[in-house]
């Protein structure tokens, strides 16, 4: 735990929006994680940018999270500042099919709203937890759709203090990856401009999205999980490999490898981040030993490395 006076500038600048020694479990879908030294909730892009700039200027470790869908915080928490992105503004031009979204907008909200406006091209996101910012960085996707297929540009703040508009050439998307994810630049997504096909019948779009939702309900577990734990390796599927390794149903404490889908690790109650770590290591080792394939995490581990 840090000396609270260390972060005094945050208290002065952000007032009530800054909290100290705040448990991270409440901000994550898996309901896990020890306390962060400081948490700032940013409900406007200027506050989001300001919070990150203060951290960069003071050389404080800082991470931004959206809905906390794809992150696993350690049980010891995070020695630094966590910025929660609560920016929510969304503008939809239904004639042109252009959408401007602040980076804290939820993907499910965006999927619903685009359908209501007769825009097609985001139905795949109907059951995907997460926010626009995380989706831009990770090239989120499902059902053969992904961010690379609908992004026009994104407004990014780059360390130390540069605002730039990036398009597909700068983002250099790959499967679940972008130049923003690969580094070494440190940057924050503030908003994104997306394009869709306009003029569709909302009812038909919803029927399409319902099929995706039904497919998810059939193939993925409900409950507190982190979504897909690992990326799919080339020409194979992490879930299939974990199943073929006989690991479905394997448990550590309160966390279990789902019997419905091998790439989902579910916190059944009382689970710890350390339990996730045990199961992550077990899955990696077993799949490596059996198939010679190295599973790469899709979920981001935060607060695990010594320098953090």
Q: Which of residues 206-225 bind ligand EPU (CB under 6 A)?
A: 219
d(CA 232, CA 297): 9
Q: Which entry of 228, 245, 252, 258 is annotated as an active-site residue? A: 228
Q: Is 298 a catalytic residue?
A: yes
Torsion angle defined by CA atoms of residues 153, 159, 162 and 168, in that order, rounded to the nearest 10 degrees: -20
Q: How far is the CB of 232 from ligand EPU (least distance, A)?
A: 5
Q: How far is the CB of 302 from ligand EPU (least distance, A)?
A: 17
Size of the site for ligand EPU (CB under 6 A): 15
Instruction: Give every CB contact of residue 281 below 8 A, 6+ residues apart in sequence.
Output: none
Q: Which of residues 225-264 bind ligand EPU (CB under 6 A)?
A: 227-228, 231-232, 237, 239-240, 243, 261-263
d(CA 231, CA 291): 16
d(CA 177, CA 138): 5
- In this complex, which beta carbon is closest to ligand EPU, that of residue 153 or of residue 232? 232
Q: How far is the CB of 209 from ligand EPU (least distance, A)?
A: 13
User: 265 with 72: CB under 8 angstroms?
Assistant: no
Report, in this order, helix, strand and coil percent for the chain, each rounded to 5: 35, 25, 35
- In this complex, which beta carbon is closest to ligand EPU, that of residue 124 or of residue 166? 124
- In this complex, which beta carbon is closest to ligand EPU, that of residue 18 or of residue 147? 147
Q: By C-alpha distance, which of 264, 265, 240, 239 is closest to 252?
A: 265
Q: How far is the CB of 36 from ligand EPU (least distance, A)?
A: 23
Q: Which entry of 41, 102, 177, 298 is annotated as an active-site residue? A: 298
For residue 17, the 8-state DSSP code is G
- In this complex, which beta carbon is closest to ligand EPU, that of residue 228 or of residue 250? 228
Token pair, residue 221, equals 């577990």
Interface map 257-296 toward ligand EPU (x if CB under 6 A):
----xxx---------------------------------
**H or E, element range at 115:** helix 107-116
Q: Which of residues 97-156 bind ligand EPU (CB under 6 A)?
A: 142-143
d(CA 304, CA 54): 23
- In this complex, which beta carbon is closest to ligand EPU, that of residue 167 or of residue 249? 249
d(CA 38, CA 40): 7
Q: How far is the CB of 8 from ligand EPU (least distance, A)?
A: 38
Q: Which entry of 176, 177, 178, 225 is annotated as an active-site residue? A: 176
Q: By C-alpha distance, which of 24, 25, 23 is closest to 254?
A: 25
Q: How far is the CB of 177 from ligand EPU (least distance, A)?
A: 12
Whole-angstrom distance between the N-terminal and C-terminal Cα of the chain?
A: 12
Q: Which of residues 12-71 bind ligand EPU (CB under 6 A)?
A: none
Among 150, 156, 298, 303, binds ligand EPU (CB under 6 A): 298
d(CA 62, CA 164): 20
- In this complex, which beta carbon is closest to ligand EPU, that of residue 80 or of residue 127? 127
Q: Is 176 a catalytic residue?
A: yes
Q: Is 277 a catalytic residue?
A: no
At 215, give phi and psi (nearest 5°).
Answer: -60, -40
Q: Is 177 in the site for ligand EPU (CB under 6 A)?
A: no
* Interface residue list for ligand EPU (CB under 6 A): 142-143, 219, 227-228, 231-232, 237, 239-240, 243, 261-263, 298
| Active site amino acids | 176, 228, 298
């Amino acid at each position: 735990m840090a000396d609270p006076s260390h972060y005094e500038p945050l208290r002065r600048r952000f007032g009530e929006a800054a909290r100290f020694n705040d448990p991270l479990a409440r901000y994550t879908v898996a309901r896990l994680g020890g306390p962060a030294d400081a948490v700032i909730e940013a409900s406007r892009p200027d506050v989001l940018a300001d919070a990150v700039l203060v951290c960069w200027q003071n050389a404080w470790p800082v991470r931004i999270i959206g809905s906390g869908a794809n992150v696993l915080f350690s049980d010891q928490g995070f020695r630094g500042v966590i910025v929660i992105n609560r920016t929510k503004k969304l503008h939809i031009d239904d004639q042109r099919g252009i959408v401007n979204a602040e980076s804290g907008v939820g993907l499910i909200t965006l999927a619903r709203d685009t359908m209501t406006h007769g825009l097609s091209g985001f139905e795949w996101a109907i059951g995907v937890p997460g926010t626009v910012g995380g989706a831009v960085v990770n090239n989120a996707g499902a059902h053969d759709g992904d961010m690379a297929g609908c992004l026009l540009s994104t407004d990014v703040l780059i360390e130390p203090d540069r605002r730039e508009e990036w398009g597909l050439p700068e983002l250099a998307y790959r499967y679940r990856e972008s130049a923003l994810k690969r580094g070494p630049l440190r940057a924050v997504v503030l908003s994104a401009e997306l394009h869709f096909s306009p003029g569709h019948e909302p009812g038909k779009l919803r029927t399409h999205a319902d099929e995706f939702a039904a497919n998810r309900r059939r193939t993925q577990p409900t409950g507190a999980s982190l979504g897909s734990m690992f990326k799919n390796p080339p020409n194979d599927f992490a879930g299939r490999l974990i199943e073929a390794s006989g690991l479905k149903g394997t448990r550590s404490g309160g966390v279990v490898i789902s019997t419905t889908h091998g790439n989902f690790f579910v916190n059944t109650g009382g689970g710890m981040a350390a339990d996730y770590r045990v199961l992550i290591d077990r899955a990696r080792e077993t799949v490596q030993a059996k198939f010679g394939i190295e599973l790469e995490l899709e979920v981001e581990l935060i607060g695990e490395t010594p320098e953090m």
